[in-house]
Amino acid sequence: MANIWLLFLLFPILTVVDDESLAIGTRVATIGLLLLFAAFHIKGYLVLVQRELGEVREPNRSPLGSFVDPLGSKLWFVGLLITAVTAFALAAWAILGVLPFIISFAMFHFSWPTAITTFLASLTVSILGPLSAGRLNDFWFFAIIVVSAGGAMMLTRLNLEQQERSSLLRTELIVSNERERVARDVHDVLGHSLTAIILKTQVVEQILSAPEPTGAAIDEARRQLAEMQDVSRGALAEIRTTVGGLRATTLSNELAAARAVLADADVTLTVQGDINSVPHGDTLGWVVREAVTNIVRHARADTCHIRLADEGTLLEISDDGRGRQNGAEGNGIRGVRERMASSGLALHVEDGPERGTLLRVTRADGTDR
């Protein structure tokens, strides 16, 4: 969507076309350079999109992973500068209209120092260039455009960085709370159980240390040992439940989590169907979790619809986002597909009827029951 602003390149192109002081060959060459400028701009943003989708590995992701200095972006940025300077040499001041695009590219591809330097350099060119040629009265508005565009893009970047920081903090808080829960549960379970076991071993030790234990004493020792076994088994079961809670999922829990996560992402969620009538509910929870994660991370959707049924299609999740970009499946979808197969279900990932992505879960054998 960022490349839609390239429509504003029509203004310098039309200015060159209408400039009768330029030779026909110069006009054609300048227009060609501006089109090449647009191609470099688009290619650079494709590199950015690939990085956001995880198709390009980023060695550095701090504080905002999108704003790093990959070699690909640098090359296309150099291409932008070369074409802009060459076009300026041919058509002079009409080419100042490309400065906001250069600022935009730097702002959303590079580190803050590089982006600010590019902005200040562009502002200097927009003021000192016409001033040195005595034509500031004719081209003063370019400085206003550069300041406005640069300021707007800085605010946009700051907002994006703040959103990602907030998301990271929420994730860290969830992990921290879960660690505290596990630590608390393990402490409570083991603390109580081990204390009981220690007391019972002391009782057994006292009984067995007597010179000649009576039959009643032996029976008491046996009873204490049996209770120790019961306490140990109970503690082991509770520990398994506590640890298993880190990986367990249910459809009801995931739907509740989906409402919260999608609301934070400004995505409207609608749910149709009775959750209590859907078979394989715990297994379907994994599909909801992965689908919601992908919608928030990649889809840029406004709405999401989840339909539950007890026959035919058990679960259907659709969104109105930008859909699958290249048809490739990530590790998350592959893992869910394997989980569905182990439960006798099949996961289908398709393009939506109009836009977005559609996920369907059916029985692998194609039956309704």
- The answer to whether residues 213 and 207 touch, using CB atoms and an 8 Å cutoff, is yes
Euclidean distance between CA atoms 324 and 349, whole angstroms = 9
- Predicted confidence pLDDT, tens digits, the chain (369 residues): 455 667 778 878 888 888 888 889 999 999 999 999 988 888 877 776 666 554 444 444 433 344 444 556 788 889 899 999 999 888 877 788 899 889 988 988 888 999 999 999 999 999 988 888 888 888 888 899 899 989 999 999 999 889 888 888 888 888 787 777 677 666 656 766 777 788 778 888 888 888 887 888 888 888 888 888 887 887 787 777 766 655 556 888 889 888 877 886 788 999 999 888 888 888 898 899 888 888 887 788 899 999 998 778 899 999 998 887 766 677 778 878 888 888 899 999 988 887 889 999 999 876 655
Sequence-ordered alpha helix ranges (H) in 209-276: 215-244, 251-264
Taking the alpha carbons of 192, 194, 199, 203 in that order, is the dihedral positive or negative?
positive
Task: Show the tokens assigned to 129.
Answer: 């260039």
Number of H helices, E strands in the chain: 11, 5
Q: Name the residue with tokens 């198709």.
A: 55
Q: Residue 4: name the closest of 37, 32, 42 by CA.
A: 42
**Is the distance from CB of 8 to CB of 37 less than 8 angstroms?**
no
pLDDT at 266: 80
Tokens encoding 227: 């209770």
Q: DSSP assignment, residue 343?
A: T
| CA neighbor of 257 nearest in space, from 170, 143, 161, 189 | 170
Residue corresponding to tokens 């829960």: 181
Whether residue 254 contacts residue 289, with contact meaning beta carbons closer than 8 Å, is answered with yes
* Strand intervals (E) in the chain: 268-272, 303-308, 313-319, 345-351, 357-363
Closest CA to 21 of 120, 80, 92, 82: 92
Q: How far apart are CA 33 and CA 35, in angstroms?
A: 5
Residue 212: CB atoms within 10 A of its CB come to: 5
* 24 contacts 84 by C-beta, under 8 angstroms: no
Tokens 């002079």: give the residue. Answer: 92
- SS3 category, 65: coil
Q: Give the integer Cα–Cα distance in Å for 135 and 290.
A: 58
